[in-house]
Each structure stands twice: as structure tokens, then as C-alpha cells.
Amino acid sequence: MTQPYGSWPSPFSAAHITRAPARIEGARFVGDEIWWGESVPSQGGRVTVRSSSDQEMLPAPWSARSRVHEYGGGAWTASDDGTLYFVGAADQRVYRMPIGAEPVALTAPGPQHGGLTLQHGRLFAVREDLRPDPHLRAIVEIPVDGSAADDESAVQVHVSGSAFFAHPALSPDQTRIAFVEWSGRRMPWEQALLRMARIGGDGFAETIRTRAALQPEWVSADELLHLDDEDGRWNIHRLHLDGLDVLRKDAVAAADADTGGGLWVLGNRWYRPLDDGRIVSVRTNGSDEIVLIDPHGESARVDLLALPVTAGASVDDVRGSRALISGSGSRVGQGLWCVDVDASTVTTVVGGDDADPAWIPRARAVSFDGPHGTVHAFDYRPANPDASAPAGELPPYIVMVHGGPTAHVAGAASTAYAYWTSRGIGVLDVNYGGSTGYGRAYRERLNGQWGVVDVDDVIAAARGLAESGVADPRRIAIRGGSAGGWTVLCALVRGGAFAAGISRYGVADLRMLAAETHDFEKHYLDGLVGPLPEADEIYRERSPLSHADRIDVPVLLEQGEDDRVVPPSQSEAIRDALAARGVPHEYVLFPGEGHGFRRAETMITSLETELRFLGRVFGFEPEL
């Protein structure tokens, strides 16, 4: 049938999108089984744990979710006998739950925990206590017998302070612990230290010279792997040790690609060493690939593993010659795979459904010339085997702007994007300057230039797409959340490129953000814009709220009522400024939602509201 773009009938309803394969929240080998965490939007975004024997190991209403650093991560782990350890979403205490038993608290109320790992039978966590001022954080060891449930002093503190911590790694001889630490005045991708301390020592920690350290992993008592991007790309490095002393540091199969990324959550794993010293690793240069590195011999051998994962890849666990890899791909949806590197087999554990290219377009990696250099993006063109547009009509497009801003998108099959493309609305996903996945130099384009480089880049991408004849230049909208919402509002202030904007919990005023945001990002703006009070005028000049009178296109604002990262006051300030000038706008506040929407009913309302909004702006009648 022939119908205008935007009005094509689609099998992808908003409710269908919430029933898409669940987001994988870590995976483990547990005895003869594989366990994984998954989100359940239909149950308020609850995170459960399931097994390959089709059992739910964490029953409702329990939910495993950490709020350490606000973004959490590493909210569960399990022992080989099937005992589950998890962070309770409601109270942030750590619980132990043997199979068939009720959860038993292991920590006292008050602090919150994340980054749980079992190492040599010992349970480690990153602890954050927001009760004192200044807030205190620590790498702790939690007794599994429950003795610390009512006595915080029973928890062994290995390192502590007002700094931030991640990735505790216990040496094979159990005498030392390696970890990542950053001051809080710099973000971890700007400057993070690799440190080592003796277990039960005097608290002294040796500092290893690094630039942006990630994920220490022991391979023996005198060899420690870690990630660093001192040469411009995150690569694996090996330390040869004598106690706490470093004898030598070597790069392991360095590549012009990133093994690593922004340390937003505590559960990320970009590589894992196998027992025999080989390494299963993610490498990212725009898209992800999974490689097997054999570091033995004079030159390391690197083999590409035949996995379908190209986006959001994580090496969640290893055992023997097997590795668990989660992520999504250009031809498959979100899933979890088990690869045996010796048998050359790949088994789908959960998800990973093949995407029908007739309905779900494959992302096209594209680039555009911008004022600050090349701009990378992924293009998803309208696709619907049962519909076509009238001759000569060009499709409307949504330019997607990821959050962070130190984050990354990669081309992957997406039912969330098929919601738009199947209706005849194209999607352009932009990795503007400041994004990860293209090296430190690309990431550092945004230093001091947030609100300038990101805006220039999304405008360059939108105009480049229109000039190539792919999109209707009069019907390009821009949509983003959090830091992406900031870029949306800044671009609308700039004017001329976008006919509408959708800001989801977006930043509107930098000074307000600096005053209200949480500890983890308290000094993020120092690098992105400049330190206060010296840069106060820049904060005022860059903020969309200062120039809301320049916005002259319709705006949709969506906000979580319980958002601690970007509070509702940000969206409401822009709403009030638009209302005062009579600019068409909508404001939708979602009770019970924080920074990011997790509940099925919220996701459905949000998508349908956005589709109706674009239909009104662009002049098509959408089918919900």
C-alpha cells in the first residue's frame, strides 16, 4: 500500500517494545548451569535472576539493583553451589539466598552496595555511605555467615575514604587486593588510578602509574592485567610484580580499538583471562567485536571469534575454555551467548533472536564532516515490506542523542528503533565528539566544549543526511535523554536544523545542575565546561534556560519524578519558559521513575506520546 511516511501500519506497538528481550544484567557459570540477570519492565523494572534450567532464582517481589554512584551495577553474584548473593533494590542491603530458601540479610541498614564479586570464596563489594558528610566509600569484604547483618563493624574494610572505588580483585595467594580509584574531582575516564594494598595490612596502597585505569584481573600471584588508555586507546596491559612492586609493564596485543569504556556502572567487564592465560576480549572501533588473544610466544596471536555481538558487548564470565558474552548485534537482538574457544562452538543461552531485515533495518555506519572533524553515526532507514511512500516524498527523521555525554552507541538490531522505522520514520544515532569507542582524542573533543561540539556535531549530521537526499530537511526532529536532552535543548536554542525536539530528563541549566546533582557527577562539569566560580559566565551563557526565548519549534519534555541525577526542576524550568512565550510544548511527569524509564506503563506512555507529538508537528496521522 502507498501511504505517507509516518503513517505506515506497524506490528511494533509500544506494548510490543516493552516485551522485547530483557536487558541482560550480568551472567555467571553456576555449577552445571548458567545464570543471568534480566530486567522485567512489566513488573516495574524489577531485576530478577534466571537459570538455563528455566528457573527464576530470585522470585518477586525481590529485585537486585544497586544505587552505588547512583548508576549501580554488579547487583548480584552466585557461588557454584547455587547460593545467590544480591543487593536488595528497596534497602541496598546485601542478601544471601540458598536455593529454595528465603533471602537472609548480610549487611546492616544504611550503606548501599554494588559491584558484588565472589573471589576465592570471599564476598567483596563497593560500599557507599551517604549518611555522613563527607560521604564515605570503601571496598569491603562481607562475611557470608550473617554476622554483619546488625553490626557494621563486622564488615572488613580494605580501603576507604571520600574517593570513588571500583573493580576489587583479590590475588590468587589472597595476600593483595588490586582496585581502581579516582578522586571525584575527575571522572574515571579522565583520570583513574590502579592501586594495590595488602590484605590485613596497615592501609598503605601502592599506586601504579596509569591514565584511566579499568578492570584489574590477576592471572597469577605475580602477574596482573588491567586496562589503560595512556596511548590513546584502552588496551590490555600486564604488570609483572614482586609483592606491591612493579618490575615491568607490557602492552598485550595493543590495537587501534578500545577494550574499555566509560565507567558508569560497576558490573562492566571488557575482557576475561582464561585459566591457560589466553584472553577473551571486547574491541570497539565504532562497533564491537570479540577476539581471543593468545599472549604466549614472541608476538601475541589475535583471532576474531564468530559471535553475532556488535554492540554493548560484555565478557561476563569464563570457565575453562568457555566464555559468557552478552550484548546485541546488527542481525540479532539483545542476548547472551556461551562460546567455547577450543571447540569453536557458540550456543545461544537466552535472547539473540534473528532480526527480520524486512522489518528491522540494519544500521548503516555513516560519517559526516563537522567543524571539529569527522562525526560518526549509524543510520536506520524506514523499512516496512507492506508499505511504501508516495513518489518524491522524503521521510522524516529523528536524530538520536545518547546520554553521558561520555558514552557510546553502536549499530544494532533494535525493536525500539523499528517502532519508528516501520512507521516510515528514519533514525540517525549520532556518536558526537565526546563519545567513547573512537579513542581518547575523539572523546576529549568535548573538553570545555559541552554545548558547543556536541551541538555542532548533531547539526552537521542532520544537515549531512538531508543534503545526501536521505531525509526531508523540513521534518527532522532531535531526541535525547539526560546529557542527550541537554544537547537537544542547546540545538533548539541554536535553531535552524530541527523542526521539533524531545527532551527526556534533560539538563536545562548548568548552574542548577552543579548545585543539585549527585556526588558521582559533582565535578563532571569542571572538565566539560569549566570549574566554578571561574566559569560562571560560561555556565550561564551555554545553558538553554538562559536563551529559551530563542526556541521557536514544538518541544516535548518527559521527566521522572524521582530523578536524583537531573531533578524535575530542570525540565520544569524550561516548561515554564516555553509557556511564558506561548511556544507549543508538552510536559509529562512520570511518578515513581528515576533517571531513565524502567516501568512498562511508563515506556508505553512515553513512546505513544512521542509518536503523537511528531505526527502533529510533521503532519502525518500515526497508527499506534
Q: Name the percent of the chain lying above pLDDT 70.
A: 99
Q: How confident is the model at residue 16 (pLDDT cuts 50, 70, 90)?
A: confident
What is the predicted pLDDT for the residue at 512? 87
pLDDT in tens, 181-193: 999 889 999 999 9
Q: How confident is the model at residue 178 (pLDDT cuts 50, 70, 90)?
A: very high
Q: How confident is the model at residue 583 (pLDDT cuts 50, 70, 90)?
A: very high
Tell me which residue of 327, 248, 335, 334 sits closest to 283, measured CA to CA. 327
Strands 500-504 and 476-481, bridge-based pairing: parallel
What is the predicted pLDDT for the residue at 513? 87
Rounded to whole angstroms, how far apart are CA atoms 421 and 611? 12
The residue whose grid cell reads 546485541 is 328
Q: What is the mean pLDDT of the chain?
A: 94
State yes or no: pLDDT of 339 exceeds 90. yes
Residues in the chain: 624
Quote the Cα angle for 201-203-206, to 5°: 95
Fold designation for 364-618: Rossmann fold (3.40.50)
Rounded to whole angstroms, how far apart are CA atoms 116 and 267? 8
pLDDT in tens, 194-210: 999 999 877 678 899 89
Tell me which residue of 139, 132, 131 sits closest to 113, measured CA to CA. 139
Question: 278-306: buried (b, 16+ CB within 10 Å) or exposed (e) per residue?
Answer: bbbbbbbbbbbbbbbbbbeeeebebeebe
Q: From the CA atom positions of the chain, what is the Rg in Å?
A: 24
Tell me which residue of 513, 470, 506, 505 sits closest to 491, measured CA to CA. 506
Q: How confident is the model at residue 109 (pLDDT cuts 50, 70, 90)?
A: very high
State yes or no: pLDDT of 381 exceeds 80. yes
Contact in structure between 6 and 471 (CB atoms under 8 Å):
no
* Sign (positive or negative) of CA dihedral 474, 479, 484, 485: positive
What is the predicted pLDDT for the residue at 365? 96
Rounded to whole angstroms, how far apart are CA atoms 52 and 34? 5
Contact in structure between 578 and 551 (CB atoms under 8 Å):
yes
The residue whose grid cell reads 521557536 is 552
The residue whose grid cell reads 552505588 is 68
* Sign (positive or negative) of CA dihedral 263, 268, 271, 277: positive
SS3 string, 193-207, reads: EEEEEECCCCCCEEE
Query: What mean pLDDT comes out for the span 485-506?
Result: 96
Rounded to whole angstroms, how far apart are CA atoms 1 and 7? 11
Query: What mean pLDDT comes out for the span 553-568?
Result: 91
Alpha-helix runs per DSSP H in 323-414: none
Q: Largest Cα–Cα distance of the chain, in whole Å? A: 76
The residue whose grid cell reads 558487548 is 313
Q: How confident is the model at residue 296 (pLDDT cuts 50, 70, 90)?
A: confident
What is the predicted pLDDT for the residue at 503? 97
pLDDT in tens, 260-277: 999 999 988 999 999 999
What is the predicted pLDDT for the residue at 269? 96
What is the predicted pLDDT for the residue at 204? 75
- Of 131-140, 448-457, 472-481, the range with the lowest mean pLDDT is 131-140
Name the grid cell of 461.
Answer: 549530521
What is the predicted pLDDT for the residue at 599? 87
Q: Is 1 exposed, middle or buried (0-12, 13-18, 19+ CB in 10 A)?
A: exposed
Dihedral angle of Cα 503, 403, 369, 423, to the nearest 10 degrees? -60
What is the predicted pLDDT for the residue at 18? 82
pTM for the model: 0.93
Q: How confident is the model at residue 505 (pLDDT cuts 50, 70, 90)?
A: very high
Name the grid cell of 141.
Answer: 569484604
What is the predicted pLDDT for the residue at 435? 98
Residues 6+ apart with CB under 8 A from 240: 222, 223, 246, 247, 248, 249, 250
Contact in structure between 68 and 111 (CB atoms under 8 Å):
no
Helix (H) or strand (E) holding 509: none
Q: How confident is the model at residue 517 (pLDDT cuts 50, 70, 90)?
A: confident
Rounded to whole angstroms, how far apart are CA atoms 276 and 296? 10
Rounded to whole angstroms, how far apart are CA atoms 193 and 207? 7
Residue 536 phi/psi, 5-degree rounding, is -55, -40
pLDDT in tens, 38-97: 998 888 889 999 999 999 999 999 999 999 999 999 999 999 999 999 999 999 999 999
Check: CATH 3.40.50.150 for 26-268? no
